[in-house]
Amino acid sequence: MRVLSGIQPTGRPHWGNFFGAIRQYIDLQDDNDGFYFIADMHALTTVRDAAALKQYTLDAALDLMALGLDPKKATLFVQSQVPEVSELTWLLMTGTPMGLLERCHAYKDKKEKGLNADAGLFTYPVLMAADILIYDSEVVPVGQDQIQHIEVARDLAGSFNHTFGETFKLPKAKTLDHSAKVPGTDGEKMSKSYNNTLPLFGNVKQIRKQIMRITTDSRAMEDPKEPEGDHLFQLYRLFASPEDVETMAAMYRRGGFGYGDVKKAVAEASETYFAEARARREELEANLDYVHETLRDGAARAREVAADVLLRAQKACGLR
Ligand code: AQP
């Protein structure tokens, strides 16, 4: 099965990116034909610095490979290295109702926060639809925030097929229970633009400090607490074994514990969890030629598939 997903090189990846999406890429790479890309064209809507975008793009490749994405099993590439995607975006754009894009939350949210909304941000879901459809993708592993965009891709594919005949496969989103919406240090969705992230890589001491600053409620220590609605508990659950999760849940319900201890447990569990990836990232940093070669090979493979699907779509709508 063709599985595809992408990650934006907009800064350092966080726990939400990993537990919502990247972990799925790795779990699915053994038994599927995985296509994973670094969405540098999407990132252009926020990163307006050429050197930074190049660095973030390389960083994202290092991050994904360090976390376990294996180029021998899956195809890893940079979005802009497949120009066919931009051509398909235009074809899809001509059949995209404005209202559909106006309802998309990425645009709506950013606009409500007073951030500048340009046409790139507004039409982002169409580029994302092209990203998905051009590889005949069937399954798209993502976090909850992207489900709506995958629905847009399905809608656009369905309406193109209806108008011009069967051309595109209809993709489906795939999310994970418990980690489709990882909370940030303030309890809101963990998000680079909300400044509430916990990074996967970086200085361990600094990350520990960030963990110790996670907001908690102000109820007395001895009060029993319901674990399910508590974002610190949700973060603990990302790393702990089912038995440890049960023990922690029982402790919450009994009351009489300190949030500081839970934070320390989260810090220790996360450090152990990512230790191997950190070591692997250092090795990859010393072998950048291999990383560049992987991205070149990945783009060549992705272009072959993309060229076929683009031609199919062009023929269908009368451009060839
Ligand atoms: N908090 C999250 N919980 C679960 N999944 C998440 N994802 C992002 N945040 C969470 C998923 O990570 C994948 C890559 O996302 P992206 O590169 O598009 O990053 P993003 O959505 O731009 O991440 P941010 O931090 O939320 O950035 P801003 O603030 O710019 O929007 C996707 O599958 C996403 O669902």
Instruction: Decide: 181 in ligand 1 pocket, CB within 6 A.
Output: yes
Cα–Cα distance, 243 to 241 (Å, whole number): 5
CA 282 from chain centre, in angstroms, equals 22
Domains by residue range for the chain, with CATH: 2-181+288-317 (3.40.50.620), 202-282 (1.10.240.10)
306 or 45: which carries more pLDDT confidence? 306
Binding region: 8-10, 16-17, 131, 143-145, 182, 189-193
Please confirm, yes or no, whether 192 is among the known catalytic residues.
Answer: yes
Catalytic residue among 174, 192, 225, 263: 192
Asked if the interface predicted TM-score (ipTM) of this complex is over 0.85, the answer is yes
178 or 319: which carries more pLDDT confidence? 319
pLDDT at 223: 84
Instruction: Decide: 110 in ligand 1 pocket, CB within 6 A.
Output: no
Please confirm, yes or no, whether 205 is among the known catalytic residues.
Answer: no
Cα–Cα distance, 210 to 205 (Å, whole number): 9
pLDDT at 117 over 90: no
Instruction: Decide: 16 in ligand 1 pocket, CB within 6 A.
Output: yes
Tell me the average pLDDT across 26-34: 98
Please confirm, yes or no, whether 181 is among the known catalytic residues.
Answer: no
Q: Number of C-alpha atoms within 13 angstroms, CB side, residue 125?
A: 28
Cα–Cα distance, 60 to 24 (Å, whole number): 16
Instruction: Decide: 24 in ligand 1 pocket, CB within 6 A.
Output: no
pLDDT at 193: 81
Asked if 6 contacts 57 with a C-beta cutoff of 8 angstroms, the reply is: no
Distance of CA 17 from the midpoint of ligand 1 (Å): 5
Q: What is the pLDDT of residues 280-308, one digit of tens each?
A: 999 999 999 999 999 999 999 999 999 99
Distance of CA 13 from the midpoint of ligand 1 (Å): 9
pLDDT at 222 over 80: no
Q: How confident is the model at residue 257 (pLDDT cuts 50, 70, 90)?
A: confident
Tell me the average pLDDT across 20-31: 98
Distance of CA 143 from the midpoint of ligand 1 (Å): 7
pLDDT at 178: 87
Please tell me the pTM assigned to this model.
Answer: 0.95
Instruction: Decide: 199 in ligand 1 pocket, CB within 6 A.
Output: no
Mean pLDDT of the chain: 95
152 or 228: which carries more pLDDT confidence? 152
Tell me the average pLDDT across 255-264: 89
Cα–Cα distance, 180 to 214 (Å, whole number): 20
Q: How confident is the model at residue 99 (pLDDT cuts 50, 70, 90)?
A: very high
Tell me the average pLDDT across 7-26: 96
Distance of CA 189 from the midpoint of ligand 1 (Å): 9
pLDDT at 160: 98
